[in-house]
């Protein structure tokens, strides 16, 4: 026994005295490219298309109506709108075009709501813009988003400017490049962070949805108020349809309630936003069906013919507004996909499953056409929140059963802790 021990100790001594060869390590993965072609190409194309929509909607108009309005005196504009001669006459002392901009906006909305085509286009545009607005406001209230590219204040000002100039031009022109720059920076500097970030409290999310619904009442007034019978009421409602984002500023008070979520280990912080987006998805269906039933047959007849068949320049502008918003929403989806891919390249978790082209064409296009672009965009936002929440549980997006099992374990632990 002693002999064996001596031999083993002698072998250990020889082993320790002999130099150890360093283990071969796998070469480090090559760093991702510093610049992505698509992250700059998508915003560039969006900006170019937004400018084109503005040109078609406000410059190359079928009847040249906007140019005639801007060259008309404020007194004549009041007469066209059916307003009293002395109505806000003090604004006439302002320099041009500020002396007539409110009257031009009023006449635009009056003309847009005067035809069934215009009312249908307003309903379609509202169904697209509603989830976009709610998403921007919820993101502005999330934890860690106070340095977001736009925030609530910036986005509200952008929407007001868009109401004066053109929704389909200004909103995509600013939002898509800002999101691309901000998302790319976050993906490279903090790739391990699961995005989208956790939602604020459910009460804050509900307050955002309620605020957007109330602030959007002037849009509903466009479809219901008879401007010929009630010109003064229609004037104030039409101006409210431009300035309605001012009602979003009180939401800044709620930032104090969207604090840290470190103490909430057994809740689902992203599901509040997901539920809000699902609710919006179903609310946009009636607007899409009603607006499409009225507007799409007329649009098809106009597209097959010449631009002179547009009944007025207001409906033509609304059509290009919709085109710009649709392109901007799809550009946001492409930017998010490129940012997610970049985060995985930089070592972050794969939160969002890559979708196949056939899957997008077959299933995505079906929901887009039947239920509307607002429904498709809202469900996309809800899907991102759900997948991010599953990633927080350490669950692959495909294994729903494991997510439910872990959810039950978390709830059991929460009950024991109580």
Predicted pLDDT at 147: 52
Predicted pLDDT at 202: 83
In a domain, 406, yes or no: yes
In a domain, 12, yes or no: no
Confidence tier at 408 by pLDDT (50, 70, 90): low
Question: What residues make up the domain containing 142?
Answer: 41-257+267-417
pLDDT of 400 > 80? The answer is no
In a domain, 286, yes or no: yes
- 349 versus 312: which is more confidently predicted? 312
- 256 versus 286: which is more confidently predicted? 286
Confidence tier at 134 by pLDDT (50, 70, 90): very high
In a domain, 205, yes or no: yes
Confidence tier at 227 by pLDDT (50, 70, 90): confident
Predicted pLDDT at 362: 53
Phi-psi category of 394—alpha, beta or left, where left has phi over 0 and alpha has psi -120 to 50? left
Section 328-345 average pLDDT: 87
Task: Output Rg (C-alpha) for the chain, integer angstroms.
Answer: 28
- 366 versus 66: which is more confidently predicted? 66
Predicted pLDDT at 396: 47
Q: What pTM was computed for the model?
A: 0.80
Predicted pLDDT at 265: 44
In a domain, 369, yes or no: yes
Number of domains in the chain: 1
Average pLDDT of the residues of the chain: 79
Each residue's pLDDT tens digit, 22-62:
455 555 454 555 557 788 899 999 999 999 999 998 888 88
In a domain, 370, yes or no: yes
In a domain, 330, yes or no: yes
Task: Give buried/exposed letters for 142-172 (b at 16+ CB in 10 A, else e).
Answer: bbebeebbbbbebbbbbbbbbbeebbbbbbb
Question: Whole-angstrom Cα distance, residue 254 to residue 251?
Answer: 5
Worst-scoring range by mean pLDDT, 195-204, 215-224, 265-274, 352-361? 352-361
In a domain, 19, yes or no: no
């Amino acid at each position: 026994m002693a002999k064996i021990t001596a031999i083993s100790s002698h072998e250990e001594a020889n082993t320790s005295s002999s130099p150890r060869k360093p283990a071969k390590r796998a070469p480090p993965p090559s760093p991702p490219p510093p610049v992505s072609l698509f992250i700059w190409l998508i915003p560039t194309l969006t900006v170019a298309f937004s400018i084109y929509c503005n040109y078609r909607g406000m410059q190359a108009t079928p009847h040249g109506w906007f140019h005639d309005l801007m060259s008309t005196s404020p007194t004549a504009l009041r007469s066209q709108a059916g307003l009293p001669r002395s109505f806000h006459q003090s604004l006439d002392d302002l320099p041009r075009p500020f002396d007539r901009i409110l009257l031009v906006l009023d006449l635009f909305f009056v003309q847009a709501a005067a035809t069934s085509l215009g009312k249908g286009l307003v309903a379609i545009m509202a169904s697209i813009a509603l989830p976009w607005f709610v998403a921007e406001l919820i993101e502005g209230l999330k934890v860690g988003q106070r340095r977001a590219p736009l925030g609530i204040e910036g986005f509200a000002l952008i929407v007001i400017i868009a109401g004066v100039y053109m929704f389909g031009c200004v909103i995509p022109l600013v939002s898509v490049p800002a999101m691309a720059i901000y998302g790319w920076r976050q993906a490279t500097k903090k790739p391990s962070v699961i995005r989208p970030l956790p939602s604020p409290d459910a009460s804050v999310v509900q307050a955002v949805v309620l605020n957007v619904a109330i602030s959007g009442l002037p849009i509903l007034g466009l479809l219901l108020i008879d401007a010929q019978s009630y010109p003064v009421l229609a004037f104030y409602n039409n101006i409210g349809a431009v300035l309605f984002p001012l009602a979003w500023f009180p939401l800044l008070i709620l930032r104090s309630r969207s604090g840290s979520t470190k103490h909430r280990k057994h809740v689902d912080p992203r599901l509040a936003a997901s539920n809000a987006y699902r609710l919006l998805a179903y609310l946009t269906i009636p607007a899409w069906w009603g607006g499409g039933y009225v507007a799409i047959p007329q649009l098809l007849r106009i597209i097959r013919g010449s631009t002179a068949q547009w009944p007025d320049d207001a409906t033509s502008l609304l059509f290009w507004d919709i085109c710009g918003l649709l392109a901007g929403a799809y550009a946001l989806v492409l930017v998010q996909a490129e940012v997610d891919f970049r985060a995985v390249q930089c070592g972050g978790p794969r939160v969002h499953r890559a979708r196949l082209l056939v899957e997008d064409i077959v299933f995505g296009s079906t929901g887009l056409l039947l239920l509307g672009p607002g429904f498709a965009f809202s469900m996309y936002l809800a899907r991102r929140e759900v997948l991010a929440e599953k990633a927080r549980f350490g669950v692959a997006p495909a294994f729903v059963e494991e997510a439910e099992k872990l959810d039950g374990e978390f709830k059991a632990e929460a009950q024991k802790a109580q």
